[in-house]
A and B are shown apart, each in its own frame.
Chain A
Amino acid sequence: MSTLNGAPVDTTAPGHADTSITKDGFKITTRKLPILKAGPIDDMTIKLGIAPPEMIFGDNFMRIEHKPSGWHIEFNAFDALDRVDKTGDSMLKVSYSKEWQQNSSDPARQKQFEDIKEVVKPFDWSYSTDYKGSTPDTPALQPTDNPIPLALLKRPDPIHFFEDVMLYEDELADNGIAMYSCKIRVMPARLLLLGRFFMRLDHVLFRIRDTRVFVEFATGEIIREYTAREEEYETVRKTLAGTREDVLATMRDPNRLAEFIPVVEKSSDRVVLK
């Protein structure tokens, strides 16, 4: 059973302790706790300089660390949100914004907009982030053309450890969804982590920004791929309408959506740990 947005339903109440597994010097740790309370949300608001999303899992993280080399990569909500535009320069508008602001048939409404012009604390409220995980300066990842070896990942190797962790989610005041979630699966010889930002602004835009981290335990090779997809809502809707897909259901599921949304940015980097 999954929710409308393809997010996992955690029927075990959230709040279990850290889970972790170690493979060949790589330690994988995940933490899954409830959303933040009022006090920590206030602290985060001050530190970030923007209002955090409605559902903020500020204690959660997913972390891969390699003790021998001191390298690690961690995905957490604060660092992801710290990369959201805080100026309002890349602000989106909900689909009915124009209609809402320019209803000239109502003089009272017009008057009201003359009085209330100020947008309060403008920022990118879609919480769009190009976050690729937090890493130390050294050893650093270097740009590469080596792709993640998909064939190795398609093999049905046993999964020794699996976890999914939500970092944040916002319903965009019922105008869609923005969420950052992480999944990891650890097989005997390698692992794959997927950090995903998914945003649907109804009747406006889709965004999927994936960061995949691949680790081959035996060689210490890490490959990180970042893929950003983006398309206008109406274009995607039309494409889906021409398929056998259930349009509304598909538009809620980033896994099924990805193939209908073109890639707008792609980059890869790599490091081999000793």
Chain B
Amino acid sequence: MSIGGSDLDRAITQLRACRPIPENQVRELCYKARELLIEEGNVVGVDAPVTICGDIHGQFHDLMELFRVGGDVPDTNYLFMGDFVDRGFYSLESFLLLLCLKVRYPDRITLIRGNHESRQITTVYGFYDECLRKYGSANVWRYCCEVFDYLALGALVTGAATTLDPTDGPIAENVNCELPDSDMDIEIETLNANGEIMFRYARNGDSQSSAASQANSNPASSSPIGPTPSRSGAAGTGATSSANGSTRNDTGAILCVHGGLSPLIDSIDKIRLLDRKQEVPHEGAMCDLLWSDPDEIDGWGLSPRGAGFLFGADIVKCFNYKNDLSLIARAHQLVMEGFKEMFDSTIVTVWSAPNYCYRCGNVAAILELGEDGSNAGYQRRSNGDRGGGGGGWILGSNAGPNGTNDENRRLSSVLGDSMQKPRDGPGRRYRVFEAAPQDSRGMPAKKPVADYFL
């Protein structure tokens, strides 16, 4: 049988109810997904608006909560940064649902690879056992692993707005700081699962953005309930222009990758040249992209574990400048607050598995990037790296509505540029949510059973 059209919709309905689909349908689905993914480049081009999500780890009911909070597919565009499987009890249902949605709405959902999308890791951390338990054989696990090999390694989001349209929602309880006026340039907004405003931060409209970003690099300020940093500088000088899509103030692209950077990769084009269609190797650029972590160090460092890299603020800032990025979004590390901005907001960790492993008590977050009105100047040339050679993006006419044809630096064209002030980050709306209510989790709620341990 073939899975398509109404069959696909039926499979989606069944998976949404957290019921696995038959093995032959999984085989068909995985085949279709591979045909689709093979056409994607290592770095998928994605247009804003898009909602960026971190690790899911088989927490199916929390994925449903994510869709409730962030909007359903295809109404909301999603980008998932890997680690769909392992740890949780419903890796199978979670991954197959995401894959069905990908096949059904290929332009609405982007899936990139995490370090858990690997044969070796899934045999140790649960997904293999789960497939065996639910189907009685490893076939489904094998089909899924073949899909893993075709997942893209990263995504490049373009056309994101520099400022947010402020949410016209109520203020959440327990917010005891003053929110900036909604007519200012809103750079960051944090909302709870009910859409209530927990935190709002206005961009310093002038070139002194470092003061603002310093305040923002304070750990407390990336907390959903963090204090509002003081507004310094001329408030709102850029506010009106950005509403019109000013070219002066436009944001660079946003690179999304599961882990982080690699010392072997100094440009996005180098990611495009990798041969990704394989099991995640134990070393090399592909491995680094899925495994490395930012850390408060200078330059590059070796992890004490003897494998894996750590990278500091200077590495991120240099990479972003060279590649005309305003932000790197990554996942991979658990953060209690659901997200954590580092290095003057040049990189953010997004974590989307609330109460991780059903016992950490952390909240989860998703990151919404809005659409910049002036995006029409960009054309997508090729989504594949076969024959495409260099960058998948070219600069079209980017004249802003006010007529200034500012030759903006884009991707590889930046190399010869003199150092200028870093790109303003995109407007960032974080939606923070907790684990799905117990009664919808399908697990018996009980206290740990007393046992006669010795």
Residues of A within 8 A of B (CB): 1, 3-4, 7-15, 33-39, 41-42, 54-55, 88, 91-94, 96-97, 99-101, 103, 106, 108-109, 112, 115-123, 125, 150, 153-154, 156, 159, 162-164, 166, 172-175, 183, 185, 192, 194, 202, 248-249, 255
| Known contacts A11-B444, A174-B125: A119-B301 contact under CB 8 Å | yes
Contact across chains for B450 and A10 when beta carbons are under 8 A apart: no
Min CB gap A254→B, angstroms: 11
Contact of B46 with A by CB under 8 A: no
Contact among A119, A173, A194 for B302, CB-based, below 8 A: A119
Q: Do the beta carbons of B306 and A94 come within 8 Å of each other?
A: yes
Residues of B close to A153: CB separation below 8 A: 452, 454
> B138 → chain A, closest Cβ, in Å?
13
- Chain B residue numbers with a CB within 8 Å of A150 are 454
Chain B, 342-382, CB within 8 A of any chain A CB: 355-362
Q: B165 within 8 Å of A by Cβ?
A: no
Q: Chain B contact residues (Cβ within 8 angstroms of A): what range?
A: 35 or more
Q: Is the CB of A249 within 8 A of B336?
A: no
Cβ contacts under 8 Å, A103 to chain B: 283-284
The answer to whether A112 and B263 touch across the interface, beta carbons within 8 angstroms, is yes
- In the complex, the answer to whether A118 meets B302 with C-beta atoms within 8 Å is yes
- Are A11 and B297 touching (Cβ within 8 A)? no
- Chain A residues whose C-beta falls within 8 Å of the C-beta of B16 in the assembled complex: none
Minimum CB–CB distance for A36 against chain B, Å: 7
Q: A91-B304, A120-B301, A120-B304 are in contact. Are A185 and B438 (CB under 8 A)?
A: no
With A and B bound together, what is the CA distance between A202 and B112 in angstroms?
A: 26
- The reply to whether B358 and A154 contact each other, CB–CB distance below 8 Å, is no
User: Is B282 within 8 A of A38, CB to CB?
Assistant: no
Interfacial chain A residues near B359, Cβ < 8 Å: 3, 7-10, 14, 166
Given known pairs A116-B309, A125-B304, A248-B123, the reply for A12 and B447 (CB within 8 Å) is: yes
B355 and A14 within 8 A (CB): yes
Q: Among B306, B453, B454, which residue has its beta carbon within 8 angstroms of that of A101?
A: B306
User: Chain A contacts of B116 at CB under 8 A?
Assistant: 174
CA distance A96 to B310 in the complex (A): 17
Bound together, the chains give a CA A175 to CA B115 distance in angstroms of 12
Q: A residues within 8 A CB of B449?
A: 162
Q: Give the contacts of B411-454 with A (CB-CB under 8 A).
A: 434-435, 438, 441, 443-454
- Which residues of chain A have C-beta atoms less than 8 A from B357's C-beta? 3, 7, 55
Residues of A contacting B337 with CB < 8 Å? 37-38
**Chain B min CB distance to A200 (Å):** 10
Q: In the bound complex, how far is the Cα of B307 from the Cα of A39, in angstroms?
A: 28
Query: Residues of B contacting A119 with CB < 8 Å?
Result: 301-304
Q: When chains A and B are docked, how far (Å) is the Cα of A55 from the Cα of B356? A: 9
B307 x A94 contact (CB < 8 A): yes
Interface pair B302/A13, CB less than 8 Å apart = no
- Distance in angstroms between the alpha carbons of A91 and B299 in the assembled complex: 23
A-B contacts, 27 listed (Cβ < 8 Å):
A1-B443, A3-B357, A8-B359, A8-B448, A9-B443, A10-B358, A38-B336, A39-B219, A39-B220, A91-B304, A96-B307, A97-B307, A99-B283, A100-B308, A103-B283, A109-B284, A116-B263, A116-B299, A116-B309, A117-B302, A118-B302, A120-B302, A120-B303, A122-B304, A156-B452, A174-B124, A175-B305
Complex: A194 Cα to B454 Cα, angstroms: 8
> What 10 A-B pairs come out closest when comparing CB atoms?
A34-B361, A97-B306, A162-B450, A120-B301, A93-B306, A14-B361, A100-B307, A8-B448, A159-B450, A38-B219
Chain B residues near A35 (CB-CB < 8 A): 334, 336, 360-362
CB of B87 closer than 8 Å to a CB of A: yes
In the assembled complex, the Cα of A97 lies from the Cα of B304 at a distance in Å of 11
Closest residue of chain B to A252 (Cβ to Cβ) is: B124
Return chain A residues, CB-CB under 8 Å to B306.
Answer: 91-94, 97, 100-101
Chain B residues positioned under 8 Å from A159 (CB to CB):
450, 452
Within 279-317 of B, Cβ neighbours of A (below 8 Å) are at: 282-284, 291, 295, 297, 299-310
Let me know if B264 is at the binding interface, CB within 8 A.
yes
Tell me if B129 is interfacial: C-beta within 8 Å of chain A: yes
Find chain B residues with CB under 8 A from A183 CB: 453
- Rounded to whole angstroms, the CA-CA distance of A249 and B129 in the bound complex is 9
A173 touches B291 (CB 8 A): yes
Query: Which residue of A14, A54, A109, A116 is within 8 Å of B334 (Cβ)?
Result: A54
B453, A34: Cβ atoms closer than 8 Å: no
Beta-carbon contact of A121 and B263 below 8 Å: no
Q: Are A94 and B305 in contact (CB under 8 A)?
A: yes
- Interface pair A164/B448, CB less than 8 Å apart: yes
Q: Which residues of B contact A8 (CB under 8 A)?
A: 359, 448
B305 partner residues in chain A, CB cutoff 8 A = 93-94, 97, 125, 172-173, 175
Assess whether B247 is interfacial by the CB under 8 Å rule: no
Measured in the bound complex, the distance between the Cα atoms of B447 and A7 in whole Å is 13
Among A14, A122, A154, residue most surrounded by chain B Cβ atoms (within 10 Å): A14
Instruction: Please determine whether B284 and A106 come into contact, CB atoms closer than 8 angstroms.
Output: yes
CA A194 – CA B453 in complex, angstroms? 8
Which chain A positions have C-beta within 8 A of B124? 174, 202, 248
Most buried by B among A4, A33, A106: A4
Complexed CA–CA distance, A101 and B302 (Å): 10
Given contacts A162-B450, A185-B452, 4 further A-B contacts (CB under 8 A): A9-B358, A35-B360, A38-B335, A101-B306
Residue numbers in A under 8 Å from B323 (CB-CB): none
Contact A120 B310 (CB under 8 A): yes
Report B-chain residues with C-beta under 8 Å of the C-beta of A3. 357-359
Please, how many angstroms separate the alpha-carbon atoms of A4 and B124 in the complex?
9
Closest A residue by C-beta to B434: A13
| Partner of A33 from B115, B263, B334, B361 at Cβ < 8 Å | B361
Whether the Cβ atoms of B301 and A99 lie closer than 8 Å is no
Residue of B nearest to A126 (CB): B305
Task: Tell me how far the C-beta of B280 lies from the nearest C-beta in chain A, rounded to whole angstroms.
Answer: 11
CA–CA, A143 to B127, complex, Å? 47
* Across-interface contacts of B301 in A (CB, < 8 A): 116, 118-120
